[in-house]
Structure 1
């Protein structure tokens, strides 16, 4: 299974470039969940690994916005964001 290059593979936030055109990590940090491409995940991360990180953000951290609060998108809904990105919501 290959990871999408655009969008955070952890939370689905679309304003992240997870992998570059050569399929290498960008070291970009997601403003939404705080996951960093090349640190928390890379092009070789398994779906199980991504689910583990996602569960930590979603359940253990309560989907808290990681970055500057003034940049939270209007009407931001983490569940809807994940649904749009076709990312399963952790149980």
Structure 2
């Protein structure tokens, strides 16, 4: 599985760099779901391990915005965000 350098692989939030130019994790924390590149996932993460973290955010945390409430994008829709990123939404 090849991971994109940009965009959170958990929630699809696009304003995040997860891998640097050497394909190493950046340890950036996603403002949307709170997942950290290098902690919850890395360039070797399996689809199953990403799905597990995603289920926790979607089901347990009900897609709650992790960062400062003032930084929530206008008209933010977490499920639409995931859909646009090509991420399957856990049920």
Range class of TM-score, shorter chain: over 0.9
Cross-structure match for 1:28: 28
- Moved beyond 4 Å, runs of 4+: none
User: Could you tell me the TM-score, scaled by structure 1's length?
Assistant: 0.98
Partners of 2:22 and 2:34 lie apart in 1 by 23
1:24-83 Cα offsets, whole Å, 9 max, x none, are 000000000000000110011000000000000001100000000000000000000001
**Contiguous gaps of at least 5 residues in structure 2:** none
**Contiguous gaps of at least 5 residues in structure 1:** none
User: Could you tell me the TM-score, scaled by structure 2's length?
Assistant: 0.98
Length, aligned pairs only: 91
